Structure 1
Amino acid sequence: MSASTAVVMAMTGAFVTVVAPSSASAATACAANVFTRQFFANTTFSGAPKKTDCDSKIDQDWGAGAPASGLPSNDFGVRWQLTRDFGSGGPFTFTASSRDGIRVYLDGVRKVDLWKNVSTAVSTKVDLTVPKGEHTLRVDYVNWTGSADVTFAYAPRTSATVDKVAPLAPTGPSVARDAGARRNFLKWTANKEMDVAGYRVYRRTPGQTSFGAPLATVTGTSFTDTTSGGTTHLYEVRAFDKAGNESSGSSDVSVTGKPVYLRQFFANTSFSGTPARTDTDSAIDQNWGTGTAASGLPVNDFGVRWQVTRDFGSGGPFTLTASGQDGIRVYLDGVRKIDLWKNGSTTVSKTVNLTVPQGEHTLRVDYVNWTGAAAVKFDYTPRTDASVDQVPPLTPTGLRVAYDENTDSATFSWAANTEMDRAYYRLYQQTAVGDWAPMVITDRTTWTATGLPRDGRILRYYLVTSDRAGNVSEQTPALEVATVDTVVPAAPALRVSHLDNTPHTLKVNWDTGTEKELRNGGVLGVYRSTGGASGDDPELIGTVAKDSSPTWPYAYMDELPAFDGTAYTYTAVLTDAAGNASPRSTPVTVTPDGVAPAPLTGLTATPRADGVLLSWDTPAETGLRYAATRVVRGEDGSSRYDSRGCSDAVDPSKGTSVANALLCVGPADGETVTFAVVAYDAWGNGIPVGQAPTVTVTELDHRPDDARGAQGGPLTVLNPDDVARTGRLEWGCTDEVDEVDGAGEAGQAVCADIATYRLERWNAATGAYETLLTVAADPARTRYPSAVTVPTGSTTFFRITGTLADGTTAAVTHYAAAKGSAV
């Protein structure tokens, strides 16, 4: 390889190629070389499969469950099958493992047979030779009982001592010329062998009889020759595999300016035998008169054949123009399009308009001179009138970018489109979501964007091309350029507070901007100093990142030895994902102590329809929060505490906060209740509840007359603490049958005899119950739910009645729900 070629290849390797995602296939039409998978609800693979999909890899572990919806967890089968081209074939290894049975077939011949019910996985490895060409693999798997798992893989053996089979010669070589850039684009079809390691590109001039050392070695299926200049060259491609075997050469293709003709001279008019001479021709426009067309040929009764294979891109309308003296015939892909085949003394000509399909095609021109003067002319050109050409170019390919953060530039390059009527390329940049603006219009295949930002922004681009009739191609997949980020993030804004329910832990929070940087991969360093200033060298006590556990990225927890009145100063530095460090944050100083606020004074209780409103004198200490609880006295003199329904009304986050008051929500059922209230400071200090001031009050009594007195019986409300909050009341019926008592009678079971339940709500204005729901009893049900409304600021009374089939009341229970209003 020449030095200049090595440079080109190094640059090519640095490019990033964007590949458009393929559209989704139909459910049972799988992509090339992907298994079609079928699930059967039996182990004989009989009947229609329950499900069919695609699987790129056989490696499943379904455990003890079913492999797909509608299948049992035992006695099922799964079949995978694909047909692929193995190219030249060669030595392969089949590797299989399963629990339970697996069989593998190649073209219907069984190669692996592990067909038994097992409790542990069994496996095997088989070495075999796959013949050349297309073959079918089928994998049958069954699970009879227990856990189900299966793996299968097939891979070529690539050791040089084992693999002696060379790849097939590459097919479909074609070449196009970018005259502006003075470079040739060579591409070919990828080989089918699974062990192909790369391709070697060879080049020679028409005057050379053989190819020498390879011009380049590539792993893809294209190569750009930037060293060809204006010289005519023939190119050949050979594949080589991982074992070092090299294929024979592809068919030769040539180019100079545009794809050139391979020209052959025959000393006869039937084009038989070996050509007397072979060379290339950039255009068919010869007038040999009555002389010889080439050395060694007669002046009469000779033939000349020109042939060129080129990629026409999207194809479209073309004009073929031919003239000759004597005979001329023109073929497109072997189909005759022009036939002027007669001996004449004057020139004959013909023009044909036709449509060339998309892709690669071969033109062949046969000319013969029987007697007299010899002249021939042929050309093919696209028709570019907009009323005739409605065929857009193909989407450009090979779009790639090389970004240089040192110069804030991005150089784009792409493969030249092969349409002969291509006009220009247009590169677009996204300026906003859904909004794109053109950056450049060019007929070249490279462009450099300069002055790119340095803020880490992701810039997106796509490319289109247009022909001379104004048709525009589809756009390429968007290509992204991640610009370098040199923007220093803003300094964090800290907040420091006590972590609830801990003895001496502080919580360090920060602003939403800092949190966003953390989510994007930044790191926050938290520093602490003792005293009222951060000093020159604060201690780094920890870092926070998005994968920090367990509180990322919301807070940092600093557990101190004690809250003893020592002052602590906190600062932080934010480093973003690009490594840019912020200025140090403004210091935040706190002085946590262990002294509880004094007991409250002036505690009073005011009964309301939705509970009891507690209030007290304004304490001398500020920044307090409060907790209230009911004090329940036991018969033995002990106390327990019930804080349900009591909320901190002075919480500054509440828009309706009232200083020095909070509400303990409860039903207005006339109960006498004792309450205690404790004040807590910012550091979690508070006196024990047993030492807090208390107040005793009798609640309002809004109960209906029939709800007064002891409640009991088999009917119970199952969610008594959630009715007001959720608007849903659930009840059930449970008999508790006693043993025979001393009088010789036993408790009676009533739930099984209840035929109907009725849910009612008390209307104080009318002095009567309103029926909300009537539902038939169901022995299979244990819960009966109903949506209910509990108005804010009041107590709602409900009655649930179970009746027998004859209408007799069997059981009744009452329930009261209170919903507190703002203090």
Structure 2
Amino acid sequence: MRHAKLLATLPLVVITLGLLVIPAGAHNSPHSDPYWTGLYFNNPTLSGVPTVVRQDAKVDFDWGAGSPHPSIPADNFSVRWFRTVDLPGGRYRFFVTVDDGVRLWVDGVLLIDKWLEQAATTYSADIDLYSGRHLIVMEYYERYGVATAKLWWETPPIAVTWKGEYFNNRSLSGAPVFTRCDSAIDFDWGQGSPDPRIPADSFSVRWTGDVYFDRSGYYTFYARTDDGVKIWLDSSPLIAAWWDQPATTYSVTRYVSRGVHRIEVNYYENTGFATIKVWWRPVTPPSPPGAAIIVDELDPGFTWGGPWRSRHHAYLGYKGHMYWTRSTTYVPQNYAIWKPSLPHPSYYEVFFFIPRCYATTHRARYRIFHNGQRHDRIVNQAIYYDKWVSLGTYYFNASGNEFVFLGDNTREPYLSRYIGVDAMKFVPK
């Protein structure tokens, strides 16, 4: 079980950030701290001794109108999180989303100072960091109503550098004649050649690049080519038009998650004019996504399989009720199925609500069955506390035969862990 500990004999040292209090040795770890240390106060001013001290895997909380802990009120509380993180050198962009107030320091530098009552708002700030360990501190308070506190960071988007391999044949055969870095795939060679070492006709090029997408969503990819082109995104084909043709534009729309993705472009020129251009742009959704579809464990879309005597009730979690069972090893004895009634085919992000108690397994084995495919996700339930946890984004065809499966076969010692069974949420993207 997860137990928050009262601050008792924890040695404290005050560092020069006003009244910022951090446990001694917090900045002396040889590596990144695996968790955030959270000091939770039952007042909005971080005053006195914290009521609760606990380890949080992420600062990524949406408590709604609730409380982060039974010992903390739903309103008029505050939190100080700190963690030492080992980062490579470079420029970083830090983001916070909060309702209400926030202050963020990195190595003693106050990056964000929005200590005021407000609806959920996102702020960001950039900082250049050397390679090594860095102390990150976030202070937060909640006054009334909805409570949200999230923190993350990323390197700002950088220009793509394409590795271009140039061949003196149309089939990308053998070793390239030369390799160079191209800042963009945007060439109109006319009846000429890309380089004196390459003929004006009967040549080919392979470009590869790692591209950072700063947000998840749909993107339209374009290619204008004379003659043939093929494009892959993370090894999945996007465009295939591998034939002789005058300058022609192709496009395809795909969902892309935020982060770095590998794009490969193959091109060949036979005779005549030579043109190749590749680009993309995000798709603006025509309207906001629809409401989330939630299947709770008491809803018709939920099924429990296995002996009823192994299914236990607890009056907590989403809507004040959950089931729990104990872990088995390799063969499932109990299982749960959530089958949503989805309004239309689309990409949906799947979330599972993990309650604060009766969820101690480190290896909850979720299986998402969607569009004729299966994806498995293993989640450490023990590190979450009354939180919606994402299992990923998937395409559902809304056939009525898609579902999420959770068995008790965690492969941990027999009956050694609790498995929490609560609500599943499907959010259209």
TM-score greater than 0.5 by the shorter chain: no
Q: TM-score, normalised by structure 2?
A: 0.32
More strand by share: 2
Q: TM-score, normalised by structure 1?
A: 0.18
Larger Rg: 1
